[in-house]
């Protein structure tokens, strides 16, 4: 890597306060330890994380890990969804078990979408594209919230620990909010945590790739994960401290016995409701997890997260499903999509002369963004585009034609793969008639 | 019946405002049409109702009807629970299908009762007594909320129609209320309405016997039943009007066709979003129900309710599980229960002389209440007790001894039947190891 990050764009500064105020960590610090980073990672599109080091450690040591995401079955599947799908699929390819939820309880309670429409949109828009992009059944679970009793049971348990005030602070609930809407928020937390249930692989690092605006949901769920656990482990004054308000005395005794296997008994001190250990916190956590599972607890690890930047709308404003010109859906006519690219806002100068003299502004160009995010996999190639643009050697017309061509190619290929995916639904346990 | 109601007690006046302010109807008006009224009905203990005429009509015409109740698995089963159980069992004996819920989701979310304790308390306290009192498997369903997917699915749908403000007005929710607690309130409404799901017998009159304090829940659920329905039928200006905001145009056309079978086409007028019919509202309702079910709606009838008075605590105050002396549990030692009766507050005078001169005050006597509510089935017999007491012929000591004896007898018999009920659990689909 160059000393000056070639991927750094001005817009990343907008996210600085997420680091400062909310304790999201910069993703850069982890990059060197990731063996085959995804282009979103290499290019600074994924810019922040929480606890993603736990995922990197697991990937590098061959330990189990997972990734989870979901989508609300409403509207059409588009490039924004593709970003999350690719991140999930990449983690599957790195050896993780991966989960994709159809958030039908959310769509039904918040948007009033009928269950039939939830199913149809879920399959015909999202699931087909997910499979077409490379999601595999081995170690991959696609499910609907409404038909997953484990998720719904967990949501109810999480709901015991979440009160109206904290939920409304995050989700903007008011007196008019319907109760099912509140339920669907707890179901979202259950989606995130259910991969750590015993029947889905047990406690392990699980990452949720999200946009920066989704961090409040991640923080809520990390808090709930902690509240669900019997034991709480932290370091203080050179000691590892294990506390529990709710664990029965018998559980503490079992824990003490288990600790005595790994640690010198002189290093273990039992108190009423807590145990102090002199030793490595990782080892203590492992022992505590074993015992918590043994006595029927959850032993959830806090879910990890990555944060990605959002693409700009093709017209320059926000990318939004309600502005068709701003967005390209994965199911739209490839020719029409190519035309949208030709009409997109670039970082070009007013005149050809100015462009040649001063160069273009790729960081303000939605066409460059399309190449950066989606259309050009080779880093050298996309950097060449940037440099030629900055040098005034590449004109917008040429660049747009190339991007439009790549977009058409991608959509033709993707839509062929979507057709093939229709045959593969039974491999994912999905029963659907087209 | 005498012109002056021999069962009328002073305390009924406390309930007058329920009639005036909330539109609960007096039960007296229906009594003459009920073939074998329960002693709670005969004696004015059940004093009010909503829509119970629909149940009476069904009973008298041999049409399907149902009754439903539930209990939270917490604490011990006592005489208060016995009242509701008897009311349910009576409706089963009159030919109704009856439902009894173990409100484990409520106990878990509101009281923090573990699922294991919910199961244990549900079976060992409540269900054994319910069976011992005569609940039969034929046309009788005992279930737990948490393991009934139909009830939970319905609760979620009801939750779409119920917002935080209206729920908090009824259940006293605040910002600190956990979401699972709110869910359990919607589950309670689903408990009440689920007997009308197609898989449990379809739309029909279903009565919920409750104490007067439970009316807000009944009103909420009656409102939700209405909100869930596609079509709304009412009478205005000599016409039966069928309205729907949500029914698709096709459903209206199906409805018009169906109405044309029963009514003269000249008497049917179709408008945008509503139909007017000249005819009997009962017949129109039947047709509308058929069509609503055909197009996938619920066609719920508003649940009926009966309201019973509460027994006084044996010490004169409130009957409460937290004051053991105030209450007799169905599982307590019969001798100990007899002693509680001997210590109970009576309506006796200060001295034997006064009692002989002025008579006792049976309406203020918890021992008379025990006989009236539970211990003496024969009306003549219990009225004799009252008259003898009023006439100063019956002294408290004699009366208490008799009641204590009857209580011991009842508990010995009931507890024997509870033992026998243990063998019968599989008949109710209940898998439990003692």
Per-residue H/E/C for chain A: CCCCCCCCCHHHHHHHHHHHHHCCEECHHHHCCCCCCCHHHHCCCEEEEECHHHHHHHHHHCCCCEEEEEECCCCCCEHHHHHHHHHHHHHHHCCCEEEEEECHHHHHHHHCCCHHHHHHHHHHHHHHHHHHCCCCCCCEEEEEHHHCHHHHHHHHHHHHHCEHHHHHHHHCCCCCCEHHHHHHHHHHHHHHHHHHCHHHCCCCCEEEEEEHHHHHHHHHHHHHHHHHCCCEEEEECCEEEEECCCCCHHHHHHHHHHHHHHCCHHHEEEECCEEEECCCHHHHHHHHHHHHHHCCCCCCCCCEEEEECCCECCCCCECCCCCHHHCCECCCCHHHHHHHHHCCCCCCCCCHHHHHHHCCCHHHCHHHHHHHHHHCCCHHHHHHHHHHHHCCCCCHHHHHHHHHHHHHHHHHHHHHHHHHHHHHHHHHCCCCCC
Chain A residues touching residue B160 (CB < 8 angstroms): 108-109, 112, 178-181
Considering only the beta carbons, identify the residue of B163, B174, B183 that sits closest to A177: B163
ipTM above 0.85, yes or no: yes
Q: Which of A180, A221, A297 is the best residue to mutate to test the B interface, defined by the most B CB atoms within 10 Å of its own CB?
A: A180
Spatial distance between the Cα atoms of B129 and B78, rounded to a whole number of angstroms: 9
Whole-number pLDDT of residue A2: 35
Residue of B nearest to A116 (CA): B296
Chain A residues touching residue B148 (CB < 8 angstroms): none
**Worst-scoring range by mean pLDDT, A331-335, A411-415, B8-12, B141-145?**
B8-12
State the pTM of this model. Answer: 0.92
Considering only the beta carbons, identify the residue of A108, A161, A179 that sits closest to B183: A179
On the question of pLDDT at B11 being above 60, the answer is: no
The 10s digit of each residue's pLDDT in A234-292 is: 999 999 999 998 888 888 899 999 999 989 989 999 988 899 999 999 999 999 999 99
Pairing relationship of beta strands B46-50 and B25-26 according to DSSP bridges: antiparallel
Q: Please tell me the distance in Å from A281's CA to the nearest CA on chain B.
A: 31
- Alpha helices for B94-161 (secondary structure H): 104-106, 115-121, 128-132, 149-161
The 10s digit of each residue's pLDDT in B236-292 is: 999 999 999 888 888 889 999 999 998 998 999 998 889 999 999 999 999 999 999
Considering only the beta carbons, identify the residue of A105, A161, A177 that sits closest to B156: A105
Q: Which of B145, B179, B297 is the best residue to mutate to test the A interface, defined by the most A CB atoms within 10 Å of its own CB?
A: B179
For residue B134, what pLDDT band results from cuts at 50, 70 and 90?
very high
Structure tokens at A399: 């660049």
Q: Residue A164 and residue B157: Cβ atoms within 8 Å?
A: no
The 10s digit of each residue's pLDDT in B379-425 is: 999 999 999 999 999 999 999 999 999 999 999 999 999 999 999 99
Q: Residue A186 and residue B173: Cβ atoms within 8 Å?
A: no
Those residues with Cβ within 8 angstroms of residue B50's Cβ, 6 or more apart along the chain or in another chain:
B23, B24, B25, B218, B222, B302, B304, B305
Considering only the beta carbons, identify the residue of B152, B161, B174 that sits closest to A178: B161
The 10s digit of each residue's pLDDT in B50-76 is: 999 999 999 999 999 999 999 999 889
Percent of chain B with pLDDT over 90: 84
Residues of chain A under the 50 pLDDT cut: 1-3, 10
Whole-number pLDDT of residue B1: 34
Chain B residues touching residue A165 (CB < 8 angstroms): 175-176
Whole-number pLDDT of residue B13: 59
Q: Residue B163 and residue A185: Cβ atoms within 8 Å?
A: no
Chain A residues touching residue B167 (CB < 8 angstroms): 179
Most confident range, picked from A18-32, A192-206, B19-33, B314-328: A192-206
Q: What is the mean pLDDT of chain B?
A: 93
Q: Please tell me the distance in Å from B69's CA to the nearest CA on chain A.
A: 23
Chain B residues touching residue A105 (CB < 8 angstroms): 156
Q: Residue A164 and residue B149: Cβ atoms within 8 Å?
A: no
Exposed, middle or buried, B137 (CB in 10 Å: 0-12/13-18/19+)? Answer: middle
Q: Please tell me the distance in Å from A224's CA to the nearest CA on chain B.
A: 12
Tell me the three state secondary structure of residue B242.
strand
Chain B residues touching residue A104 (CB < 8 angstroms): none
């Amino acid at each position: 890597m160059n000393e000056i990050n070639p991927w750094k764009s001005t817009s990343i500064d907008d996210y600085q306060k997420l680091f400062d105020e909310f304790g999201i960590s910069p993703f850069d610090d982890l990059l060197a330890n990731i063996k085959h980073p995804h282009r979103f990672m290499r290019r600074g599109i994924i810019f922040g994380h929480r606890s993603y080091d736990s995922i990197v450690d697991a990937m590098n040591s061959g330990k189990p890990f997972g990734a989870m995401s979901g989508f609300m079955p409403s509207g059409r599947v588009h490039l924004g969804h593709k970003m999350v799908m690719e991140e999930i699929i990449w983690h599957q390819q790195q050896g993780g078990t991966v989960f994709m939820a159809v958030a039908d309880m959310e769509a039904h309670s918040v948007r009033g979408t009928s269950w039939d429409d939830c199913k149809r949109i879920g399959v015909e828009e999202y699931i087909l594209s997910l499979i077409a992009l490379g999601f595999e059944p081995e170690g991959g679970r696609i499910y609907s919230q409404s038909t997953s009793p484990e998720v719904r049971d967990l949501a109810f348990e999480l709901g015991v620990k979440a009160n109206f005030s904290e939920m409304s602070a995050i989700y903007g609930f008011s007196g008019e909010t319907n109760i099912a809407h509140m339920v669907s928020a707890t179901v979202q937390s259950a989606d995130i945590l259910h991969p750590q249930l015993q029947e889905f692989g047990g406690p392990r690092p699980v990452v949720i790739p999200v946009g920066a605006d989704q961090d409040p949901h991640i923080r809520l769920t990390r808090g709930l994960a902690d509240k669900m656990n019997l034991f709480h482990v932290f370091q203080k004054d050179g000691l590892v401290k294990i506390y529990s308000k709710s664990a029965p005395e018998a559980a503490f005794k079992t824990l003490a016995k288990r600790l005595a296997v790994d640690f010198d008994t002189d290093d273990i001190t039992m108190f009423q409701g807590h145990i102090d250990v002199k030793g490595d916190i990782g080892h203590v956590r492992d022992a505590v997890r074993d015992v918590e599972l043994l006595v029927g607890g959850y032993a959830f690890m806090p879910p990890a997260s990555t944060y990605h930047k959002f693409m700009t709308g093709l017209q320059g404003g926000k990318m939004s499903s309600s502005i068709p010109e701003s967005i390209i859906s994965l199911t739209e006519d490839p020719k029409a999509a190519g035309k949208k690219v030709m009409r997109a806002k670039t970082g070009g100068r007013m005149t050809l002369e100015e462009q040649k003299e001063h160069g273009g502004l790729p960081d303000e160009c939605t066409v460059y963004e399309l190449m950066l995010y989606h259309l050009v996999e080779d880093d050298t190639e996309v950097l060449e585009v940037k440099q030629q643009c900055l040098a005034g050697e590449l004109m917008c017309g040429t660049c747009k034609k190339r991007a439009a061509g790549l977009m058409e190619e991608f959509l033709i290929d993707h839509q062929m793969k979507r057709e093939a995916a229709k045959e593969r639904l039974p491999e994912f346990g999905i029963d659907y008639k087209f």
